[in-house]
Amino acid sequence: MDIICKKCGSVNDYKTELKNSQNVAHCNCCGKFIKNIPYQKPKMYFGKYKDKFISDITDVNYLDWVLRQNILKGNNKQAIIDQLFKLNSHVK
């Protein structure tokens, strides 16, 4: 689904900011508010942590394995990268 700015007509050229469980979309071209996009924390959709929020998984070996399988895309993949970074930074 395309997100179109009603002011300048740009298509899918926006940035989001998380506010009150909504991603607030603003146009990158003109800065105008476009719409609120519902936000859900990324969840695992398979395996032993199915239906768990990725940010709640602390099994570094499992997260690393999933990432190496290269089966996730987009938000889930980035959430795993962020979670691994967070977990690995606490180890030091």
Task: Quick: pLDDT tens for 50-77.
Answer: 999 999 999 999 999 999 998 877 778 8
Residue 91 has pLDDT above 70, yes or no: no
Domain co-membership, 35 together with 51: no
Domain co-membership, 35 together with 53: no
Residue 30 has pLDDT above 90, yes or no: yes
Domain co-membership, 25 together with 6: yes
Domain co-membership, 27 together with 56: no
pLDDT of 90 reads 67
pLDDT of 33 reads 92
Tell me which residue range forms the domain holding 62: 47-91
Using DSSP, state whether 19 is helix, strand or coil: strand
Residue 13: closest CA among 39, 26, 38: 26
Q: Specify the residue for token string 């606490």.
A: 90
Mean of pLDDT values over 25-44: 87
Domain co-membership, 33 together with 57: no
Domain co-membership, 53 together with 35: no
Domain count, the chain: 2
pTM exceeds 0.85 for this model:
no
